[in-house]
């Protein structure tokens, strides 16, 4: 079995990093929940790359312990993009799948809102690249909120529709995580996969929409999950590349504790704001980060696991693609119907979160 020394990208620290034993302290309370009714989510499409990277592959190629990965994360396999694929390619495929399943096309949309933190390049935006390839006429907005990116994009699009500024918006969440991971880091590399998902948002009945949602951020915890180089603060040098500073860094223990806390707290927040009980919800779809995070939160809230949708074992953490991919599969299985009450929750780097209770 291969030995795992301390990794250089974890040893180094450009600024004082929060201790793994101390989750970030919030300097202010969470923002109040809001309501956004009269809109509806229509359809869902997804795309995951063909290349399957299972735990046995990681064991054979990198020496990672397959059983350890399953016990610590619940992940059996994940998908990695082919060398010629970028985030825009995944997002275009997800949109095309949505078009095929709904009978609509880019001509039926007048707005694109795309969430990603692994863009094709700094500029032009991935949203504009996708807009051009789809032939969509209208603005293309890109949102970066990491694993909460889809929820940020979804609420943004819904606000445009509610305000009468869009008749039908295309919302996409997608990431190519495999390009920013350190393949030698056993603590992060097995967790993530690549993928994208897409939905439409359009006007709905007064009873449809977001009964309550919570969007928030806690920048104090930013150093817990970041990519130090490749931005204007620190363009990468040869030394940075040699030391792995261009890869993702995650303080796993602290992020785990924060994720469980924010998932519990914000689900309670939106349910209270909507005057609902946990038992009133038909389905819970949390960001597919780690099965231990999801189970810890729902156990605290006494939510039956039969009401929680998980596909983590197949795809790992696909970041902004996580929730829309899960939505596509939940709809395909008939677990969401018109009138269903569904809780969606994303959380990730920033630190950022977006949790909502939606009536379909």
Catalytic residue annotation: 147, 287, 317
Partners of residue 347 on adjacent β-strands: 353
Q: In what order do the strands lie in the sheet with 111-115?
A: 39-47, 194-203, 169-176, 111-115, 140-143
CA 93 to the chain's CA centroid = 17
Picking from 297, 296, 301, 310, the residue whose alpha carbon sits closest to that of residue 279 is 301
Cα 143 to Cα 356: distance, rounded to the nearest angstrom: 18
Picking from 180, 175, 209, 170, the residue whose alpha carbon sits closest to that of residue 323 is 175
């Amino acid at each position: 079995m291969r030995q795992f020394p301390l990794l250089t990208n974890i040893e180094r620290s450009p600024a004082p990093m929060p201790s793994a034993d101390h989750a970030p302290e919030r300097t202010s309370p969470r923002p109040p929940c809001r309501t956004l009714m009269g809109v509806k989510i229509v359809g869902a499409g997804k795309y995951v790359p063909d290349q399957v990277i299972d735990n046995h592959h990681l064991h054979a190629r990198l020496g990672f312990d397959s059983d350890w990965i399953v016990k610590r994360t619940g992940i059996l396999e994940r998908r990695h993009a082919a060398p010629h694929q970028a985030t825009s390619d995944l997002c275009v495929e997800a949109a095309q799948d949505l078009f095929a399943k709904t009978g609509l096309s880019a001509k039926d949309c007048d707005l694109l809102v795309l969430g990603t933190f692994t863009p094709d390049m700094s500029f032009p935006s991935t949203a504009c690249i996708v807009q051009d390839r789809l032939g969509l006429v209208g603005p293309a907005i890109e949102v970066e909120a990491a694993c909460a990116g889809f929820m940020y994009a979804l609420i943004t699009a819904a606000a445009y529709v509610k305000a009468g500024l869009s008749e039908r918006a295309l919302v996409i969440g997608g990431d190519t995580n495999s390009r920013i991971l350190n393949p030698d880091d056993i603590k992060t590399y097995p967790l993530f996969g690549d993928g994208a998902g897409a939905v439409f948002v359009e006007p709905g009945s007064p009873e449809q929409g977001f009964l309550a949602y919570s969007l928030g951020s806690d920048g104090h915890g930013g150093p817990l999950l970041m990519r130090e180089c490749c931005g204007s603060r620190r363009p990468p040098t040869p030394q940075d590349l040699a030391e792995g500073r261009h890869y993702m860094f995650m303080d796993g223990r602290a992020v785990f504790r924060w994720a469980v806390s924010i998932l519990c707290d914000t689900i309670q927040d939106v349910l209270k704001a909507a005057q609902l009980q946990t038992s009133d919800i038909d389905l819970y779809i949390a960001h597919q980060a780690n099965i231990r995070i999801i189970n810890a939160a729902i156990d605290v809230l006494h939510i039956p696991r039969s009401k929680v949708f998980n596909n983590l074992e197949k795809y790992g953490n696909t970041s902004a693609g996580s929730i829309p991919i899960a939505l596509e599969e939940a709809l395909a299985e008939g677990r969401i119907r018109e009138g269903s009450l569904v809780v969606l929750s994303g959380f990730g780097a920033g630190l950022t979160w977006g949790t909502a209770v939606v009536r379909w």
